[in-house]
Amino acid sequence: MMSNLSSATEFCLLGFPGSQELHHFLFAIFFLFYLVTLIGNTVIIVIVCVDKRLRSPMYFFLGHLSALEIFVTTIIVPVMLWGLLLPGMQTISLAACVTQLFLYLAVGTTEFALLGAMAVDRYVAVCNPLRYNIIMNSRTCICVVIVSWMFGFLSEIWPVYATFQFTFCKSNQLDHFFCDRGQLLKLSCDDTLFTEFVLFLMAVVIIIGSLAPTIVSYTYIISTILKIPTASGRRKAFSTCASHFTFVVIGYGTCLFLFVKPKQTQAAEYNKIVSLLISVLTPLLNPFIFTLRNDKVKEAIQDQMNWCCPLVKD
């Protein structure tokens, strides 16, 4: 316990319970997942940049989405892996804790904004294909990406600032594998109820604000697809949206459980499980969702492999 007059200058991350053998097993599993995530999302970024067939708004947004997935997992997983290797508790400085929490929330918010933009892109492609290249031109796409990144980072400045204005004097032990905001608020000696409510409202506005264009876009998309007379035509139209729709369901589903809750200081074990889904599972699935269901991406990867193999043999 700490003095009631002092605030923590560093925190101890309790991480995962269990024996050292269990920690080593978890380290091997999460390290493998991390490598697959880095390789898979990097491959997507490279393919989008070098293959001319993928020079379209959808793949431009996909490249940025893959970059965001690399960032979100890199912000969390290396710290978690290091904690699994240490025999005791892992410490993190106050400055590092602030930085980690800010980047984690900012990248997550940017991803929400980008998913909303990708939904609108799919709406234009399916419902207004003749004007698609005019509406979704390169200038529009660049502006959308810049606004998404700026919104994500600027919108999280105040929430993180407000979180660290409290005095953390109950303890300096965080029952998590990274600087989770809910666990930080549990350590505060101050009344956090009003701030928690404001943070809850901000989370609702951010998620609903990005989810609304997604819902509206897919309502029109489904309505348009159902009007196509042939089954093959309907399948072809929906195949252009299937990957994004799958990712939206997974991404929003996990984040709704974690961020949109009236009480930020809920059970630590619940937070750990959902945080793993967001920082490990979702980035891991991204390359598979957007490649296994996309013939253009698979063809581009196959062509690049065929081009690289003769060079390696030579």
pLDDT at 150: 96
Summarised one tens digit per residue, pLDDT across range 168-207 is 887 888 888 899 888 888 888 888 889 889 988 998 888 8
| 136 Cα distance to chain centroid | 24
Question: Residue 156 in 3-state DSSP?
Answer: coil
H helices present in the chain, as ranges: 20-50, 57-85, 94-127, 132-135, 138-154, 157-163, 181-186, 193-226, 231-259, 268-276, 282-292, 295-313
Summarised one tens digit per residue, pLDDT across range 117-128 is 999 999 999 888
Whole-Å CA distances, 134 to 130, 137, 240: 8, 6, 19
pLDDT at 243: 82
CA–CA distance, 182 with 271 (Å, rounded to integer): 8
CATH homologous superfamily of 10-289 equals Rhodopsin 7-helix transmembrane proteins (1.20.1070.10)
Q: Write down the pTM of the prediction.
A: 0.88
Domain ranges of the chain: 10-289
265 pLDDT exceeds 50? no
| 173 Cα distance to chain centroid | 26
Q: Are the beta carbons of 148 and 114 closer than 8 angstroms?
A: yes
